């Protein structure tokens, strides 16, 4: 389909070329009223029908002005009468602003033409609609430089993907200093921005603040582990602080595993321009004539029903389109990282398999530490790059472990970090030219390691073979955890030589090249995306991965906040949550927190008491029963941990006959009192039995509503006391809500 679009694109360019040649002077843009002011509103081009990019509830509308420029004239709920899109205020917001002319706010695109001219004057050429994709073609009024704005809509989910494609036929290379995937304009009474920031072991902390006049930037310059400090997501409320279930909210993210930038520019008229795309930091693109440069897609949903609906839209979109095999059940693993770190051998691992069997899990996931011969991986100082078994730890090889796991009815998965190298490795000595590092400066280590140069096709080939050869040799390997434990600093590619400008972008494309090649051969192998915790969590990579590791912080109290943040953008089936021994919370609390997303274990099972083992095995059975509801149901966040010393959320299935509620107290105060919580998403006329499940060994429910039947109307108006009894910190409840037929 892309190819067809490209052919049409050239046809459009040819037409405009002819038009431009015929009228030597392009139409005038609207002039500012006063010198230094922003340009006045444009008159719409007579007879031009607005271009409507529509989903079931939302419309993004563009108009062409009499000056030939493209304007965004609407972004909001769909109007009943489409003729009225043209009845609003005169179009004022140029859709995709080229730098260097009269608009001096943040541009969408900055280029330097082959002759050195640093300006771009984009005019509408034509547009095409093919299925759910609309492409609007723009061209410079003088230069043979064209921009295609792509919009792909997912009507049922109210989600739109938008990206930009650039071509030119100038005499020499053109330098693109920056180009956005998307520019959106807003005129609202009170912009509030929710961002998701943090650091290692404190990922996805939510923070909301008003957007005042001026520029605000959310970005990353970290390259390989781009989301460690700032995650590539935002929610924008247009009428004051965002609310959970009502109010206009736009949720946006860039599908890009690299440096991103979201720029929010509020001007003197209180209009907001949101420019989203690859971070231009040290990333000029030199584009040869006839070649195309395509940006990654910006993905957004808009709703008038608050943050909750925005999240549900993205979850449903992700399950169908955004995440690899998003409609398939996931495996429930026992991972050994927290339990052993690198201190294990063959016998110890085989012993751990029994724990996985006793818990009733699907998979044993062998983490870091199994490789390296001359430089054994006994800690994080050595071995990265040498992907052969450590013969002292695993004398019979991985194949033996795969077979032993199989005998016990378990699948076997493996940890890899194939983009990295320790100086203490055979790879480092064999291929010094494969490593990103600055000339004439000392190497800078993080976690004692360096980044391989994935800009180099030979390195892509090597990384591909690390995975491919392993899977070919030990064909029983059924799962991969792909880790990446350092950001890029001091980035310089020996392969790129004097053309370092494209390093960050080429690296990400190199990463995708490897994954795309692997996915052709292993289309359904489950893979976990990990980057020293949640340093890489984006919908660019999740086209190739089935799930991701959100954080190395598995203290369940902290996890309530971390998983809450991820729930804004990702469905529960993709958010890995393992029961570990970290923190001081009870096993029940730790289990209930892990169960609200994709459950797994990383614990020494033989240290559990018989009661704890029984509780855990029951929890795994319960999770198996509930995982379609948790993973793919409608999420309603009921009480935010950011607003109270407790948190509650629920999942409801598509028929509204089954729901599950998770409730947690956090760091509560003495004699704190909590109100009943109205549930959401149920059928008001339905009758539901409320049953507390996952009870700790030897306890029974103290909730007076336990095992009683209520109407959906009552549950959604009067609510339930989700946190009954004496309130203690770090206590949890799970309620199964099922339809009562009698």
Tell me, by CB under 6 A, how many residues bind ligand DGJ.
Answer: 11
For residue 138, what are the contacts with CB-CB under 8 A and spacing of at least 6? Answer: 70, 96, 122, 123, 124, 125, 146, 147, 148, 149
367 binds ligand DGJ (CB under 6 A): yes
The contact mask relative to ligand DGJ for 247-286 (x = CB under 6 A, - = no) is ----------------------------------------
- Among positions 602-661, residues that touch ligand DGJ (CB under 6 A) are none
- Indicate the residue among 160 and 449 with the shorter CB distance to ligand DGJ: 449
| Furthest CA-CA distance within the chain | 87
Provide, rounded to whole angstroms, the least separation between the CB of residue 589 and ligand DGJ.
21
CA atoms within 13 A on the CB side of 407: 9
Instruction: List, by residue number, the catalytic residues.
Output: 483, 552
- Indicate the residue among 69 and 340 with the shorter CB distance to ligand DGJ: 340
Piece of 49-57, 79-87, 469-477, 528-536 that binds ligand DGJ (CB under 6 A): 528-536
Provide, rounded to whole angstroms, the least separation between the CB of residue 546 and ligand DGJ.
16
368 binds ligand DGJ (CB under 6 A): yes
- Indicate the residue among 252 and 532 with the shorter CB distance to ligand DGJ: 532
Q: Could you tell me which of 519, 528, 334 has the C-alpha nearest to residue 412? A: 334
161 binds ligand DGJ (CB under 6 A): no
- Indicate the residue among 239 and 380 with the shorter CB distance to ligand DGJ: 380
Provide, rounded to whole angstroms, the least separation between the CB of residue 580 and ligand DGJ.
10
Q: Tokens 């434990």 appear where?
A: 485
- Indicate the residue among 306 and 535 with the shorter CB distance to ligand DGJ: 535
Q: What's the 3-state SS for 175-223?
A: EEEEECCEEEEEECCECEEEEEECCCCCCCEEEEEECCCEEEEEECCCC
Structural contact between residues 70 and 96, judged by C-beta atoms closer than 8 angstroms: yes
Q: Could you tell me which of 244, 223, 525, 254 has the C-alpha nearest to residue 363? A: 525
For residue 11, what are the contacts with CB-CB under 8 A and spacing of at least 6? Answer: none
The contact mask relative to ligand DGJ for 574-613 (x = CB under 6 A, - = no) is ----------------------------------------
Provide, rounded to whole angstroms, the least separation between the CB of residue 531 and ligand DGJ.
7
Provide, rounded to whole angstroms, the least separation between the CB of residue 342 and ligand DGJ.
8
Q: Tokens 């093919």 appear where?
A: 130
- Among positions 413-472, residues that touch ligand DGJ (CB under 6 A) are 415
Q: Can you read off the two tokens belonging to residue 52?
A: 């409507």
Piece of 36-44, 530-538, 637-645, 669-677 that binds ligand DGJ (CB under 6 A): 530-538
DSSP class of residue 137 equals E
- Indicate the residue among 345 and 552 with the shorter CB distance to ligand DGJ: 552
Phi, psi of 260 (to 5 degrees): -125, 165
Phi and psi based region of residue 698 (left: phi greater than 0; alpha: psi -120 to 50; beta: remaining): left
Helix (H) or strand (E) holding 658: strand 658-665
- Among positions 479-498, residues that touch ligand DGJ (CB under 6 A) are 483, 485
**Residues 557, 339: Cα–Cα separation, whole Å:** 20
* Among positions 325, 552, 644, 683, the unique one binding ligand DGJ when judged by CB under 6 A: 552
- Indicate the residue among 272 and 480 with the shorter CB distance to ligand DGJ: 480
Piece of 183-191, 213-221, 526-534, 671-679 that binds ligand DGJ (CB under 6 A): 526-534
DSSP class of residue 322 equals I
Q: Alpha carbon of 210 to those of 111, 238, 241, 244: distances in Å?
A: 32, 10, 8, 17
Piece of 215-223, 434-442, 525-533, 700-708 that binds ligand DGJ (CB under 6 A): 525-533
* Among positions 98, 306, 413, 533, the unique one binding ligand DGJ when judged by CB under 6 A: 533
Strand partners, 294: 165
- Indicate the residue among 532 and 633 with the shorter CB distance to ligand DGJ: 532
* Among positions 191, 337, 428, 735, the unique one binding ligand DGJ when judged by CB under 6 A: 337
Helix (H) or strand (E) holding 430: helix 426-430
Q: Check the CA dihedral 300-306-311-317 and report its sign.
A: negative
Which residue ranges make up the site for ligand DGJ (CB under 6 A)?
337, 367-368, 415, 483, 485, 530, 532-533, 549, 552
């Amino acid at each position: 389909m892309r190819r067809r679009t490209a052919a049409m694109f050239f046809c459009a360019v040819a037409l405009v070329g002819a038009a431009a040649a015929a009228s030597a002077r392009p139409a005038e843009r609207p002039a500012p009223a006063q010198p230094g002011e922003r340009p006045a509103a444009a008159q719409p081009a007579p007879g031009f029908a607005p271009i409507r990019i529509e989903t079931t509830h939302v419309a993004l509308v563009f108009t062409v002005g009499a000056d030939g420029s493209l304007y965004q004239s609407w972004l909001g709920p769909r109007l009943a009468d489409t003729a009225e899109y043209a009845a609003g205020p005169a179009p004022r917001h140029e859709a995709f602003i080229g730098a260097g002319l009269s608009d001096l706010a943040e541009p969408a695109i900055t280029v330097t033409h082959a002759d050195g001219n640093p300006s771009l004057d984009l005019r509408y050429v034509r547009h095409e609609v093919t299925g759910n994709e609309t492409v609007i073609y723009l061209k410079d009024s003088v230069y043979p430089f064209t921009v295609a704005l792509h919009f792909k809509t997912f009507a049922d989910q109210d989600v739109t993907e938008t990206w930009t494609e650039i071509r030119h036929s100038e005499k020499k290379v053109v330098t693109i200093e920056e180009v956005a995937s998307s520019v959106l304009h807003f005129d609202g009474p009170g912009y509030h921005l929710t961002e998701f920031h943090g650091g290692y072991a404190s990922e996805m902390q939510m923070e909301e603040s008003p957007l005042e006049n001026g520029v605000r930037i959310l970005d990353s310059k970290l390259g390989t582990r781009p989301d460690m400090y700032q995650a590539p997501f935002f929610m924008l409320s247009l009428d004051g602080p965002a609310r959970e279930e009502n109010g206009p909210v736009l949720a946006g993210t860039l599908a890009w595993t690299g440096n991103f930038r979201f720029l929010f520019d509020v001007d003197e008229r209180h209009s907001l321009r949101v420019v989203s795309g690859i971070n231009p930091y040290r990333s000029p693109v030199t584009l040869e004539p006839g070649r195309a440069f395509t940006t990654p897609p910006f993905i957004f949903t808009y709703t008038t029903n608050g943050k909750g609906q925005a999240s549900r839209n993205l979850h449903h979109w992700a399950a169908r389109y955004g995440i690899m095999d998003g409609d398939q059940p996931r495996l429930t693993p026992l991972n050994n990282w927290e339990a052993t770190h690198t201190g294990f051998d063959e016998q110890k691992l085989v012993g751990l398999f029994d724990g996985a069997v006793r818990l009733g899990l699907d998979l044993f996931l062998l983490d870091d530490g199994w490789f390296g011969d001359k430089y054994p991986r006994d800690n994080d100082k050595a071995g990265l790059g040498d992907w052969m078994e450590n013969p002292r730890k695993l004398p019979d090889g991985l194949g033996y472990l795969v077979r032993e796991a199989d005998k016990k009815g378990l699948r076997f998965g493996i940890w890899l970090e194939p983009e990295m190298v320790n100086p203490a490795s055979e790879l480092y000595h064999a291929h010094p030219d494969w490593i990103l590092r600055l000339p004439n400066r000392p190497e800078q280590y993080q976690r004692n390691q360096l980044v391989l140069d994935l800009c180099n096709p030979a390195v892509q080939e090597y990384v591909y073979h690390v995975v491919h050869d392993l899977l070919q040799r030990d064909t029983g390997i059924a799962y991969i955890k792909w880790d990446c434990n350092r950001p890029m600093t001091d980035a310089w590619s020996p392969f790129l030589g004097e053309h370092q400008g494209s390093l960050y972008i080429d690296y990400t494309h190199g990463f995708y090249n490897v994954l795309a090649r692997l996915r052709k051969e292993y289309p359904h192998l489950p893979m976990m995306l990990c980057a020293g915790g949640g340093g890489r969590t984006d919908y660019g990579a999740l086209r190739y991965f089935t799930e991701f590791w959100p954080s190395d912080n598995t203290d369940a109290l902290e996890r309530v906040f971390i998983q809450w943040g991820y729930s804004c953008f990702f469905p529960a089936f993709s958010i890995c949550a393992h029961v570990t021994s970290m923190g001081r919370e009870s096993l029940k609390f730790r289990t209930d927190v892990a169960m609200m997303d994709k459950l797994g274990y990383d614990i020494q099972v033989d240290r559990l008491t018989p009661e704890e083992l029984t509780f855990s095995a029951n929890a795994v059975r319960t999770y198996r029963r509930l995982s379609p509801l948790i993973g793919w149901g409608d999420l309603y966040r009921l009480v935010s941990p950011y607003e109270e010393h407790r948190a509650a959320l629920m999942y409801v299935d598509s028929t509204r006959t089954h729901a599950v509620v998770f409730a947690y107290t956090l760091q509560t105060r003495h004699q704190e009192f909590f109100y009943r919580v109205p549930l959401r998403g149920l059928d008001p006329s339905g009758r539901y039995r409320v049953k507390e499940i996952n009870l700790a060994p030897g306890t029974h429910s103290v909730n007076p509503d336990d095992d009683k039947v209520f109407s959906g109307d009552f549950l959604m108006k009067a609510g339930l006391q989700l946190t009954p009894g004496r309130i203690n910190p770090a206590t949890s409840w799970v309620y199964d809500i099922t339809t009562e037929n009698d």
